[in-house]
Amino acid sequence: MAPLTNLQTRDVETLVHPYTNLASFRETGPLVLERGKGVRLYDVDGKDYIEGMAGLWCTSLGYGNEELVEAARKQMERLPFTHLFTGKSHDPAIELAEKLKEIAPVPISKVFFASSGSEANDTQVKLVWYMNNALGRPKKKKIISRLKGYHGVTVASASLTGLPNNHIDFDLPIAGILHTSCPHHYRFAQPGESEADFATRLAAELEEMILREGPETVAAFIAEPVMGAGGVIVPPETYYEKVQAVLAKYDVLCIADEVICGFGRLGTMFGSTAMKMRPDTISAAKALTSAYMPLSAVMINEAMYQALLDESRKIGTFGHGTTYSGHPVAAAVGVKTLEIYARDRILDKVAAIVPTFWRRLDAFRDHPLVGEVRGKGFVAAIEIVADRATKRSFPAKRMVAAKVVAFAQDEGLIVRAIGETVSICPPLIMTEAEVNEMFDKLERAFARGEAWVRANALREATA
């Protein structure tokens, strides 16, 4: 292993990196990136990489978009900061809220801005509790999420997240957060169970949970239209229809976490439309500004807004908000981002490139390392298995998916390992030639991964 460079050493000695094995990282050091243009990133040595994850599912318009840079520059000159506390406001926040109401997949009354998806989902929890207090339902506070769902890392949103590493030794989840079954047919269906029957069973399990807890105590259900950081899990076609019938039966709010799926990722402006969800409230972030500025939005319906009004009258204020809620530079970039999506017909571009994307993905289905290829629109995952017939995974400590991802990086492609799944989420502006180049690199990475597995006899390993 090569010794760390000066820049890598400085990093190791100064930063705590999210979602990183901090111990082994001290030996390997970071990949230090210097600049980006289009769908490519360049490290400090000048090597280029295709960004196959749109950063963290977010840089939808790629790098170096001059219009977004100019929108930020102009707003920095005009009004670099003011806040929305105590009745203050500014044009960018107003305009962005108006645009979000116009394009939302369901009727929206008001918009609350924050700086991240985690903050947005934390706000969702607080607003649900606040609303039910206003409605005289102080016991109706429990929120149901899903195993393998991802909703953030703040105390409440990490509790909603259904992944063990977000809970272990953080003393999470907090009380009142429940997790129902993960809607992944490949992994969790019973033998011979169709997708429709699987969806029916999961809806029945949800109803059983609500009845067991007491409908008078269950306030909301939160779901990503397609589950992102849990491994790009696409629920069966009838899943949301059946689940929402249960929610309506027991007056349980439906929250759509659109942080990854929003703004074109699934081929529609919001993932809720693609997956036939009818949420009551929505969280959005990431592609809202193509990640050029930190910004998230909580979109609420009229019933929730009326509850906020009632409590504000009673208490004298709405006691929630952050310094950067609706930051004017972030909001101005958000306005320009939504303008570009509409003007450049980004949804049409995604529709045009998706057939090539899936044609190349489908070629992995017969690869000896691959158990399942799944996804929707312009996001996908390739699940790695040791045995295709039995769906047996490699022992977790072998980290086969991580090894394939490392080979991909060596080939000049950035993708992400989630457990034993390789995830792919390119910028929405990718051309057909760039899609083909991306998959050429990924095919070479999988070939190297298979050779490594065979050389180390990993299929025979049991631990």
Q: CB under 8 Å to 393, separation ≥6 — which residues?
A: 384, 385, 386, 420
pLDDT value for 386: 96
Distance of CA 196 to the CA centre of its chain: 25
CA-derived radius of gyration, the chain: 22
In a domain, 9, yes or no: no
In a domain, 13, yes or no: no
Answer for the pair 145, 160: CB distance below 8 angstroms, yes or no: yes
Q: CB under 8 Å to 71, separation ≥6 — which residues?
A: 332, 333, 335, 336
Q: Do 153 and 214 share a domain, yes or no?
A: yes
Sheet holding 370-376, edge to edge: 370-376, 379-384, 421-424, 416-418
Q: Do 250 and 105 share a domain, yes or no?
A: yes
Q: 194-215 burial string, b = 16+ CB within 10 Å, else e?
A: eeeebbbbbbeebbebbeeeee
Q: Do 368 and 324 share a domain, yes or no?
A: no
Q: CB under 8 Å to 137, separation ≥6 — which residues?
A: 216, 219
**CA 120/CA 126 separation, integer angstroms:** 10
Assign 307 to helix, strand or coil.
helix
Q: Do 312 and 405 share a domain, yes or no?
A: no
Query: Tokens 């769902």 sit at which residue?
Result: 149
In a domain, 42, yes or no: yes
**CA 177/CA 144 separation, integer angstroms:** 6
In a domain, 359, yes or no: yes
pTM assigned to the model: 0.96
Answer for the pair 382, 388: CB distance below 8 angstroms, yes or no: no
Q: Do 240 and 276 share a domain, yes or no?
A: yes
Q: Do 327 and 374 share a domain, yes or no?
A: no
pLDDT value for 58: 98
pLDDT value for 462: 63
The enclosing domain of 135 has a CATH number of 3.40.640.10
- β-pair partners for 370: 384
In a domain, 10, yes or no: no
Q: CB under 8 Å to 272, separation ≥6 — which residues?
A: 105, 106, 225, 256, 258, 261, 278, 279, 282
What's the total number of domains in the chain? 2
- pLDDT tens across the length of the chain (463 residues): 789 999 999 999 999 999 999 999 999 999 999 999 999 999 999 999 999 999 999 999 999 999 999 999 999 999 999 999 999 999 999 999 999 999 999 999 999 999 999 999 999 999 999 999 999 999 999 999 999 999 999 999 999 999 999 999 999 999 999 999 999 999 999 999 999 999 999 999 999 999 999 999 999 999 999 999 999 999 999 999 999 999 999 999 999 999 999 999 999 999 999 999 999 999 999 999 999 999 999 999 999 999 999 999 999 999 999 999 999 999 999 999 999 999 999 999 999 999 999 999 999 999 999 999 999 999 999 999 999 999 999 998 999 999 999 999 999 999 999 999 999 999 999 999 999 999 999 999 999 999 999 999 999 876 5
In a domain, 77, yes or no: yes
Hey, what are 93's tokens? 């926040």
Boundary residue ending a domain (319, 343, 367):
343
Report how far apart the first and last C-alpha atoms of the chain are (Å, whole number): 25
Q: Do 430 and 335 share a domain, yes or no?
A: no
**CA 261/CA 230 separation, integer angstroms:** 13
Hey, what are 279's tokens? 């949420």
Hey, what are 316's tokens? 């004298």
Q: Do 282 and 336 share a domain, yes or no?
A: yes
Q: Do 149 and 42 share a domain, yes or no?
A: no
Residue 368, preceding bond cis, omega within 30 degrees?
no
Boundary residue ending a domain (321, 343, 365):
343
**Do the bridges between strand 110-114 and strand 416-418 make them parallel or antiparallel, or are there none, so unpaired?**
unpaired
The enclosing domain of 455 has a CATH number of 3.90.1150.10
Which of 456, 459, 105 lies closest to 268 in space, CA to CA? 105
In a domain, 387, yes or no: yes
Boundary residue ending a domain (310, 343, 376):
343
Answer for the pair 127, 161: CB distance below 8 angstroms, yes or no: no
**CA 273/CA 278 separation, integer angstroms:** 8
Amino acid (one-letter) located at 21: N
Q: Do 42 and 104 share a domain, yes or no?
A: no
Q: Do 48 and 109 share a domain, yes or no?
A: no
pLDDT value for 460: 84
Assign 313 to helix, strand or coil.
helix
**Do the bridges between strand 48-51 and strand 413-414 make them parallel or antiparallel, or are there none, so unpaired?**
parallel
Answer for the pair 304, 281: CB distance below 8 angstroms, yes or no: yes
**Residue ranges making up the domain that contains 93:** 67-343
Answer for the pair 412, 444: CB distance below 8 angstroms, yes or no: no
**CA 111/CA 94 separation, integer angstroms:** 9
Q: Do 265 and 374 share a domain, yes or no?
A: no
In a domain, 228, yes or no: yes
